[in-house]
Structure 1
Amino acid sequence: MSEETAAPTGSAGASADVLPIVNQEGRMLERTPWFPSELDVGAECYRVIGCAGSPLSGKSTLLNELFGTHFSVSRVRATDRRRWSTRGISASLAANQETILVLEVDGGDGGASGQQLQERCLRYICSVSDVVLCNVWYHDLGRYDSDPQWCLRTMVRELSQADGPLLRTCVVFVVRDADGDALDSTAAVTDALWLDAEEYWQQETGGSGSSSTSSSGAAATSSRSVETLRAALELRVVLLPSPRASRSAYDTAVQRLRHEMLDAGGSLSSEFSKGLPADGFAAFSRRLWEGIAAQPAGWSRGSVPLALHMASVDRGAFALASGGNGALPSEALVAAYHCDGAFSEILRNSAEELGELASQLEEGDKISGFGRRAEDLLNKYLSGFESATEAYAGQEVRERKRAELESVLDASLQSLFLKQLQLIRENALQHFKTASSSEEIPGDFAFYTADALFQREAEDSVRPGSDWSYANERSDLQQTMAEISARRKQLIHVQIQAAEQQRQAMQYMQLQQAQLQAIQQQQYGGTLGNWNVGVAYRPPDTNVNLSLLHQQGRTQVQVSMVPDEQAGLLGPNGFTSGVGPGNLGVSFNINI
């Protein structure tokens, strides 16, 4: 069978945004990342919801109603339940929520192999989920071999195997078809589940109900009290009425559960976060699944837990049976579990510090000496992991988890490095624009100084010993500056051409003006050899004015009677002093 999980006959086809991550044969999807948005979300932690429970109990329908997902809804009838096997795990992002990841354990039953796969799936979602939804029937509560008891026992066993501080997990038992008076029994159901959880805890940690301790892992947890369990586990109960009996009451209860989970301070608060960044979640899940799949099967419904069976195994006899290596499988599993816990803790601690650096870059502030700082952060986190897992030094699982942790942290730091490069590029480009706008600074000089500034600051941001590169960003900057220079040169060339055209136009206008002036002078001044003569005469003490004009070969005589307004100021002959005989006025004009 391929890595993808095919939908079984009788179920609606899954949507394209639902990704099968574990198929029916127990193989996890190798593709990373699972969703393209993981790269955009980066080091921000996923808020993870896992859902398991009774088959055909409406898990997919509930998740679709709560988170707007499109999980395949089963159309199998109750009479076909015996043929309904565990199909693995499907994943989807909540609608319009790139940081909320929803995981569903598909199917159930299916014989011993199906139960084994279902147990591994439940252990996986318990390890990575902030909130685990156990979807069960009301009539199954209190039955020893029922789905609620099996889910609760599996989760308590997972918590009991941890050797370090326990990460808090919220477990919500969604009880279906709780009609009538049963809707008022939330507190009673919660108390009953706590009593069962404490009993399982005492059995697993070597308290009452356990004859002896079987391994170093069990011995390490034998002194744990019930308070430790209550500090690590938050049990909640939500009773849903049957939608067939009262659809409105069912919808109201579902909406109330949705608000309790998604509202601020609800179940998906940071109190239960496992601190797994989105861009490293797929890689972490694959390593975790490999560790879970390598472990022997636990217990089936109604059987004694594997940890209690191991208590009666003689270490020497097992060493002979295993070829004399003397290593119990549980010791390797404890190492894997503790290394996973330390891995998760380091990622959660790093997410907060890396988030502060990301916020600084988002505000446009460069991080001075980013390369050295990134190296210091990476060494600090790796040293913290090594200190937390020092007891398992030399084991393969520890080295593998350390390499995986280094890879995830390096990817998160590199995403910050790329944001740093964007700020450096913008700063260098602004420097180039400012320098090139000055006429005193050559364009080539501005280009090389900006490029040198980018290279110097980018080199200072590269983590020593990493394969980070800024070649693409530098090439993009050089291309952008070259385009700006080319456009600027083209603009200057256009301006020069416009100035030259304006100069030529002015010369033409000046020439035309000179020619016009020459024509006007010739028109009014005449030509060489032509005489212009004008004679005017006013008889004394009369208003008669006689004028004679000869110009350009034409003669004009004009007689007018115009009172002489200046006669009172002039002499008796019309002049202050007579000029020539007859007081004639003569004008003489020669054009040479």
Structure 2
Amino acid sequence: MNGAQLIDEDGKCWEGRLGRGGLAYRDILDYGVVAVIGCQSSGKSTLLNRVFGTDFPVLDVNKAGRRRTTTGVWGAVARNQGNPVVLLDVEGSDSRERGEGMHSFEARTALFSMALADVIVVNMWLHDVGRHQAANYDLFEVVFSQRKQAGIGQLGAEKKRIVVAVRDFDAEVADLEEVESILTKDLVRIWNETNGMESPSLSDVFSLEFRSFPHPKYDMDGFNEAVQSFRQDVGPWCTKKVSLNRFEDYSVSVWNSIGRNIHADGWTLDLPEHVEMILRVACDGARSLALRSVEEEFLDLRYSVGTRKILAQHAATVNRGN
């Protein structure tokens, strides 16, 4: 399944690309959304490709050097345990190519991921654990602060799952429990600083998970085992308010909404507008289904008139439309 660029590096949305694989056109509410964020060149696209069988572009250091490969936001629709899964491959943070606008774009994509995804995968290298910027703590601050402004529990009954993927993990030089302890303490501290000690605890709002992935070059078997384990555990998915075939329209609305709500201290996700978008997209989808049903009835009626059906049969068809 090839990935397609949904949002380019300038923040422009390219509509109609997610449906290239066919699955995105399905009118269903039971599907998953997984977004991956993290530092540039940390293997985010590679992880998605290995877990979900996608074909997002990946970095070839030998040919291109260490630079950003994913620009903007790319998307694809894959399957996981029988259910469609929308995958969002987000541009890496801390990119020198992004320049002065780096933090604004990172914040916007982080909010975008939080608004849409059931599971947010935060990719980080083992040697970056405990380092503020390299460990994506800035992005956690954005997500945690906006979760409070949006209202605890208002964006859905299910907790948001944050999966910290610790890359290039080596059990000979690090202990996973110790890594989890360091990261948990740091994230709880960030949560308390952005939300206040009297707010609900971090665990009341987010489900935190930690997964280690060995370096595939030095421990391919261990890497494959970690990939297989994550593939099996990434679901299940909650029922959505927006059908899969309307997801792309909804995501464009969310992206534009975040862009309209820029303030002096950064980006915000406006909850009333967010809820209104869900309802609007859902209503548009229901209206489209109703119109399609009426059109089918009308075509049947035209055909039956042409074949001179009995008048009573025409009346029955018209009454169904009423």
TM-score, normalization by structure 2: 0.82
Match 1:224 to one of 157, 182, 199: 199
SS at match of 1:56: coil
Counterpart check, 1:235 vs 2:225: no
Counterpart check, 1:456 vs 2:319: yes
Residue of structure 2 in register with 1:174 after alignment: 165
Output the amino acid matched with 2:19: F
Q: 1:76 to 1:26 in 2, by over 3 A?
A: farther
SS at match of 2:310: helix
Residue of structure 1 in register with 2:39 after alignment: 54
- Give the superposition deviation at 1:259: 1.2
**Is the CA contact 1:19–1:92 (under 8 Å) kept in the aligned structure 2?**
yes
Query: Alpha-carbon deviations, 1:199-238, whole Å to 9, x = none?
Result: 222222244xxxxxxxxxxxxxxx5232xx3122011011
Query: Alpha-carbon deviations, 1:245-276, whole Å to 9, x = none?
Result: 22112111211111112xxxxx3332xx6543
Counterpart check, 1:415 vs 2:278: no
Rounded to whole Å, the distance in 2 between the matches of 1:38 and 1:405 is 23
Rounded to whole Å, the distance in 1 between the matches of 2:179 and 2:240 is 27
Match 1:122 to one of 98, 110, 116: 110
- Give the superposition deviation at 1:63: 0.7
Q: 1:129 to 1:182 in 2, by over 3 A?
A: farther
Output the amino acid matched with 2:188: E
Residue of structure 2 in register with 1:200 after alignment: 190
Q: 1:137 to 1:77 in 2, by over 3 A?
A: farther
Rounded to whole Å, the distance in 2 between the matches of 1:170 and 1:75 is 30
Match 1:254 to one of 210, 216, 227: 227
Output the amino acid matched with 2:132: Y
Rounded to whole Å, the distance in 1 between the matches of 2:29 and 2:6 is 21
Output the amino acid matched with 2:3: V
Rounded to whole Å, the distance in 1 between the matches of 2:229 and 2:250 is 33
Match 1:268 to one of 208, 217, 236: 236
- Give the superposition deviation at 1:287: 1.8
**Is the CA contact 2:24–2:245 (under 8 Å) kept in the aligned structure 1?**
yes
Rounded to whole Å, the distance in 2 between the matches of 1:50 and 1:280 is 18
- Give the superposition deviation at 1:39: 7.0
Q: 1:46 to 1:22 in 2, by over 3 A?
A: same
Unpaired stretches in structure 2, ≥5 consecutive residues: none
Greater per-residue helix proportion: 1
Q: 1:38 to 1:413 in 2, by over 3 A?
A: farther
SS at match of 1:225: coil
Q: 1:183 to 1:274 in 2, by over 3 A?
A: farther
Q: 1:283 to 1:79 in 2, by over 3 A?
A: closer
Listed as ranges, the matches of 1:495-574 within 5 Å are none
- Give the superposition deviation at 1:78: 11
**Is the CA contact 2:78–2:85 (under 8 Å) kept in the aligned structure 1?**
yes
Residue of structure 2 in register with 1:19 after alignment: 4
SS at match of 2:19: coil
- Give the superposition deviation at 1:22: 0.9
Q: Please say which of residues 112-121 and 18-27 is displaced more in the overlay.
A: 112-121
Rounded to whole Å, the distance in 1 between the matches of 2:163 and 2:281 is 34
Greater per-residue strand proportion: 2
**Is the CA contact 2:44–2:123 (under 8 Å) kept in the aligned structure 1?**
yes
Aligned length: 311
Rounded to whole Å, the distance in 2 between the matches of 1:234 and 1:56 is 26
Residue of structure 1 in register with 2:78 after alignment: 94
Query: Alpha-carbon deviations, 1:27-67, whole Å to 9, x = none?
Result: 122x2473164674224243100011122121111111111
- Give the superposition deviation at 1:409: 1.3
Output the amino acid matched with 1:35: G
Q: 1:234 to 1:119 in 2, by over 3 A?
A: same
Q: 1:193 to 1:55 in 2, by over 3 A?
A: same
Q: 1:420 to 1:232 in 2, by over 3 A?
A: farther
Q: 1:451 to 1:126 in 2, by over 3 A?
A: same
TM-score, normalization by structure 1: 0.47
Match 2:259 to one of 293, 309, 312: 293
Q: 1:44 to 1:79 in 2, by over 3 A?
A: closer
**Is the CA contact 1:138–1:176 (under 8 Å) kept in the aligned structure 2?**
yes
**Is the CA contact 1:169–1:233 (under 8 Å) kept in the aligned structure 2?**
yes
Q: 1:79 to 1:143 in 2, by over 3 A?
A: farther
- Give the superposition deviation at 1:277: 1.9
Query: Alpha-carbon deviations, 1:52-104, whole Å to 9, x = none?
Result: 112212111111111111101111359944x5487100001115867211000
- Give the superposition deviation at 1:161: 1.6
Counterpart check, 1:156 vs 2:122: no
Residue of structure 2 in register with 1:65 after alignment: 50
- Give the superposition deviation at 1:153: 2.4
Using CA pairs below 8 Å that are at least 6 residues apart, which structure has the higher relative contact order? 2
Output the amino acid matched with 2:171: G
Output the amino acid matched with 2:35: G
Query: Alpha-carbon deviations, 1:302-357, whole Å to 9, x = none?
Result: xxxx48xxxxxxxxxxxxxxxxxxxxxx8xx56x23431x34xxxxxxxxxxxxxx
